[in-house]
């Protein structure tokens, strides 16, 4: 039997106050205590003047100079630049058009990445944490960069420790240092204990004195690394880099052989030899592939930025394209952060009269008053019953136990009117009550309606006892109504349509979570599983996770284990969350998605932050990832087909000792019309197909046979034309250009499938532009293209059509092999 209760992130006091009658800083003599009132304005100004400020910039993107260097100073730009310089010497200028294309492409890359940088920087500023410090006796929020040495930094549940320091105040302060040490267990901190930046608060409240700021603090390195705009650790990027390394090694000996052969063939005209050598080398370089990849990613960042989605690591866009399972935390994801108290239901039996509602409300009000930063559950209690005792009767807080994900309750020890001391606990009924308690049946009935239920109880046992819940007298059920996000059902339907499994993993009761998920139409939600019954065996756990949709009563460590179990079965997992109980799972998931209003800790470890908390933004993020990786795969095939046929043509020319079939101007027009212009549009088109591993293998499956067929067909048409008129090299080149264009446009037609009106229009436009080049006199003169007679041109057309049909057969075989 399962019982609804509080989620692991609730209830408070999340920021329990110091015991009544005491003041922060009462132990001023203890190490690390710091100053009771914090620094004065004059002391802050003095430290700023000395440079003792946390002035390390948290960059969400590369600097403009780094962007320019990354786009301009590349290996292939250097090769193209040298060849462009050679053509400027030997002329004519139309053979140097390829150099202008490189300049234009590089400029586009710089502009797009600068736009992405501006978007990222502005979004990072919006989502930046603003810690609280105490200055001149007042708590105030400051920017991370405004913290100075010896500042008193205040901490509450979910806050990230920004700089290093020593604890000065602690009220049940528990720190999770797992991101630094790997140890999952929270550490209880006392005044004088060290605080390491990069850790975060999971329970209690406190303050610490900053002892290391700026570049001396570990947080500076952690924050910069977590927020940097990066193009690394990506299967797409690493696959392209692998291909480019192979091409570089292949290019060197082929280029040397081409140089020697063209000088041998055209020894009477060294300028012609140089031009045809350059024409053979330039198309071997897939110069636009890296550029279009960067542009596609950068435009993706800008598009998502418009939807208030901060991409902290660029490959996260690609990662989401591969996701096949999304793990959702119910609170803050399927439901909104706010809640409302629906009912305060007193409990009683034949032997015990129910407690007076007024007494219960006073106790709840006192608990609310002990919470400096109430979470959603406690805020609902405060909204309903206030944050102090009514009627002037003081219920003094002697001690407070903040909520812990491990124990699933919070409590306060109160001095009640009349001098009685008692502990009041608020938390999960199925944790605070023994199995079989009559109240649990009532809890189950409420939970089945999707309501959240907390138990309020009273016990004479002190909070610091080994088992404070012992002898607990259950007094009332606090029934809370969660606010379901209006867009949650539609978002879950989107994932179902896209064949992405959605699994709800929550610290709340399984019955309650299942009721909410069932109401949203999530398949399988009517059979929720209580995580406390999950097997310890990893194999059995993985089996259970595969067939189950909803999990309740999941501890933070179990969330991490469930993500790991899914990954062990080959799933690519995205995890969403907003509370500190989600941090471990977010960190281990392939993609972590945090809500903007969530804790600093979740935002720090997530790759993607939804700044406006809109769960409905997730489909846009997934769609953007699929668009990027799916389209880059398409255009990579086009670029590599060109590289393969260029290398093959160069080798055939070397072995036959023939003039290279093209001049640089011909390579430019062919590359622009069959690859460059179409690739730009295809890279930015919608694409909903989920990405799969094996990028390099799939790309080469079409690029290698396509390039071989294109190169063979072109050289065959060229050789046949040369056999008819040895001396008319322009006519031979024109036939070769026609043949290669037709075969390359056929490759484009295959890669562009499935067809839409604009894709057909794109292919038709490229054919129309090439027709203009052949038929408009000044264009044909400019590009030195002139078809002579009918036999050779029609022979080229027949060869191209034959090659196209062969491409279709190869494509059918490739599709079947990919399906297998």
Positions annotated as catalytic residues are 329
Q: Which tokens belong to 92?
A: 């004519």
Task: Give the three-state DSSP class for 489.
Answer: helix
* Cα–Cα distance measured from residue 112 to residue 62, given in angstroms and rounded to the nearest whole number: 13
Distance separating alpha carbons of residues 176 and 198, to the nearest angstrom:
9
Question: How many Cα atoms are found within 13 Å in the side-chain-facing hemisphere of 233?
Answer: 12
Cα separation, 394 vs 390, in Å, equals 8
Q: What share of the chain is helix, strand, coil (3-state, %, to 5)?
A: 55, 15, 30
Among 452, 450, 460, 469, which Cα is nearest to 410's? 469
Residue 364: CA atoms inside 13 Å, Cβ hemisphere, count?
30
Residue 67: closest CA among 55, 56, 78, 59: 59
Residue 268 is classified by DSSP as T
The pairs formed by 95-98 with CB atoms below 8 angstroms and a separation of 24 or more are 95/275, 95/278, 95/279, 95/663, 95/664, 95/665, 96/664, 97/664, 97/665, 97/668, 98/282, 98/664, 98/667, 98/668, 98/671
Distances (CA, A) of 420 to 21, 388, 410: 17, 18, 20
Instruction: Compute the distance between CA of residue 746 and CA of residue 194 in angstroms, rounded to an integer.
Output: 67
Encoding tokens for residue 362?
Answer: 């006073």
Classify the phi-psi angles of 419: left when phi > 0, otherwise alpha if psi is within -120 to 50, otherwise beta.
left
CA atoms within 13 A on the CB side of 658: 24
Q: For the sheet containing 409-415, what is the strand order?
A: 335-346, 473-484, 452-459, 421-427, 409-415, 396-401
Three-state helix/strand/coil letters over 366-394? HHHHCECCCCHHHHHHHHHHCCCCHHHCC
CA angle 732, 736, 742 (to 5 degrees): 150
With 0-12 / 13-18 / 19 or more C-beta atoms within 10 angstroms meaning exposed / middle / buried, residue 94 is middle
CA–CA dist 692, 690 (Å, integer): 7
Helix H, strand E, coil C: the string for 158-196 is CCECCCEEEEEEEEEEEEECHHHHCCCCCEECCCCCEEC
Torsion of CA 631, 632, 636, 639, to 10 degrees: 80
User: Please, is 230 exposed, middle or buried when counting C-beta atoms within 10 Å of its C-beta (0-12, 13-18, 19+)?
Assistant: middle
Asked if 101 and 110 touch (Cβ cutoff 8 Å), the reply is no
Pairing relationship of beta strands 608-610 and 309-311 according to DSSP bridges: antiparallel
Measured between its terminal Cα atoms, the distance across the chain in Å is 45
Structure tokens that stand for 232 in this block: 């690394």
Closest by Cα among 643, 660, 706, 709 to 257: 660
Query: Residue 183 and residue 701: Cα distance in Å, rounded?
Result: 46
Cβ contact 300:628 at 8 Å: yes
3-state SS assignment for residue 456: strand
DSSP calls for 36-88: TT-B-HHHHHHHHHTT-B------SS--HHHHHHHHHS-HHHHHHHHHHHHHH
């Amino acid at each position: 039997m399962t019982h609804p209760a509080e989620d692991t992130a609730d209830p408070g006091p999340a920021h329990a106050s110091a015991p009544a009658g005491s003041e922060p800083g009462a132990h001023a003599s203890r190490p690390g205590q710091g100053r009771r009132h914090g620094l004065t304005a004059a002391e802050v100004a003095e430290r700023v003047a000395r440079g003792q400020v946390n002035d390390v910039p948290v960059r969400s993107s590369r600097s403009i100079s780094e962007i320019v260097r990354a786009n301009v100073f590349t290996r292939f730009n250097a090769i193209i630049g040298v060849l462009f310089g050679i053509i400027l010497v030997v002329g004519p200028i139309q053979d140097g058009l390829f150099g202008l294309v490189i300049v234009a492409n590089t400029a586009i890359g710089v502009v797009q990445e600068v736009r992405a940088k501006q978007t990222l920087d502005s979004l990072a500023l919006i989502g930046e944490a603003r810690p609280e410090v105490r200055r001149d006796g007042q708590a105030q929020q400051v920017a991370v960069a405004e913290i100075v040495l010896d500042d008193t930094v205040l901490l509450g549940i979910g806050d990230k420790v920004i700089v290093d320091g020593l604890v000065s105040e602690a009220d049940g302060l528990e720190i999770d240092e797992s991101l630094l040490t790997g140890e999952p267990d929270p550490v209880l901190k006392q005044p004088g204990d060290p605080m390491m930046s990069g850790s975060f608060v999971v329970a209690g409240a406190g303050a610490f004195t900053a002892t290391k700021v700026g570049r001396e603090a570990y947080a500076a390195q952690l924050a910069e690394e977590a927020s940097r705009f990066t193009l690394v650790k990506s299967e797409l990027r690493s696959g392209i880099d692998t291909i480019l390394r192979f091409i570089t090694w292949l290019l060197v000996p082929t280029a040397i052989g081409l140089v020697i052969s063209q000088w041998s063939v055209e020894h009477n005209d060294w300028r012609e030899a140089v031009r045809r050598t350059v024409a053979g080398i330039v198309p071997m370089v897939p110069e636009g592939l890296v550029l279009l990849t960067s542009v596609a990613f950068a435009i993706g960042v800008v598009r998502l930025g418009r939807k208030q989605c901060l991409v902290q690591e660029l490959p996260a866009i690609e990662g989401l394209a591969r996701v096949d399972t999304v793990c959702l935390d119910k609170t803050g994801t399927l439901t909104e952060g706010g809640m409302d108290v629906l009912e305060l239901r007193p409990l009683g039996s034949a032997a015990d009269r129910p407690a007076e509602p007024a007494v219960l409300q006073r106790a709840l009000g006192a608990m609310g008053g002990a919470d400096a930063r109430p979470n959603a559950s406690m805020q609902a209690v405060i909204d309903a019953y206030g944050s102090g005792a009514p009627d002037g009767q003081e219920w003094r807080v002697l001690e407070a136990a903040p909520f812990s994900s491990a124990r699933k309750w919070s409590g306060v020890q109160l001095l009640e009117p009349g001098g009685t001391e008692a502990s009041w606990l608020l938390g999960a009924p199925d944790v605070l009550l023994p199995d079989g308690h009559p109240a649990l049946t009532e809890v189950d009935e409420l939970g089945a309606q999707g309501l959240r239920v907390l138990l309020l109880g009273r016990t004479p046992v002190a909070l610091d006892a080994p088992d404070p819940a012992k002898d607990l007298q259950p007094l009332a059920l606090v029934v809370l109504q969660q606010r379901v996000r209006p867009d949650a059902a539609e978002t879950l339907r989107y994932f179902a349509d896209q064949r992405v499994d959605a699994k709800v993993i929550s610290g709340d009761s399984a019955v309650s979570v299942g009721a909410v998920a069932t109401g949203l139409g999530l398949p399988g939600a009517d059979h929720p599983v209580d995580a406390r019954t999950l097997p310890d065996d990893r194999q059995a756990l993985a089996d259970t996770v595969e067939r189950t949709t909803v999990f309740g009563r999941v501890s933070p460590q179990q969330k991490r284990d469930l993500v790991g179990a899914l990954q062990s079965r080959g799933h690519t997992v995205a995890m969403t969350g907003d509370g500190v109980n989600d941090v471990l799972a977010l960190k281990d998931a392939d993609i972590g998605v945090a809500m903007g209003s969530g804790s600093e800790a979740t935002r720090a470890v997530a790759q993607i932050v939804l700044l406006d908390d809109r769960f409905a933004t997730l489909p846009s993020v997934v769609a953007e990832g699929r668009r990027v990786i799916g389209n880059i795969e398409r255009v990579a095939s086009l670029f590599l087909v060109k590289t393969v046929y260029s290398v093959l043509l160069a080798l055939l020319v070397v072995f036959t000792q023939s003039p290279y079939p093209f001049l640089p101007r011909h390579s430019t027009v062919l590359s622009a019309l069959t690859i460059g212009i179409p690739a730009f549009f295809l890279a930015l088109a919608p694409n909903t197909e989920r990405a799969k591993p094996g990028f390099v293998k799939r790309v080469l499956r079409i690029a290698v046979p396509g390039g071989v067929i294109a190169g063979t067909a072109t050289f065959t048409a060229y050789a046949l034309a040369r056999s008819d008129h040895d001396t008319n090299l322009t006519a031979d080149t024109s036939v070769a250009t026609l043949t290669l264009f037709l075969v390359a446009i056929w490759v484009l037609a295959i890669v562009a499938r499935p067809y839409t009106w604009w894709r057909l229009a794109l292919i038709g436009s490229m054919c129309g532009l090439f027709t203009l080049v052949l038929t408009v006199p000044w264009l044909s003169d400019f590009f030195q293209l002139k078809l002579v007679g009918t036999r050779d041109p029609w022979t080229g057309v027949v060869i191209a059509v034959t090659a196209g049909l062969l491409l279709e057969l190869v494509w059918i075989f490739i599709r079947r092999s990919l399906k297998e």
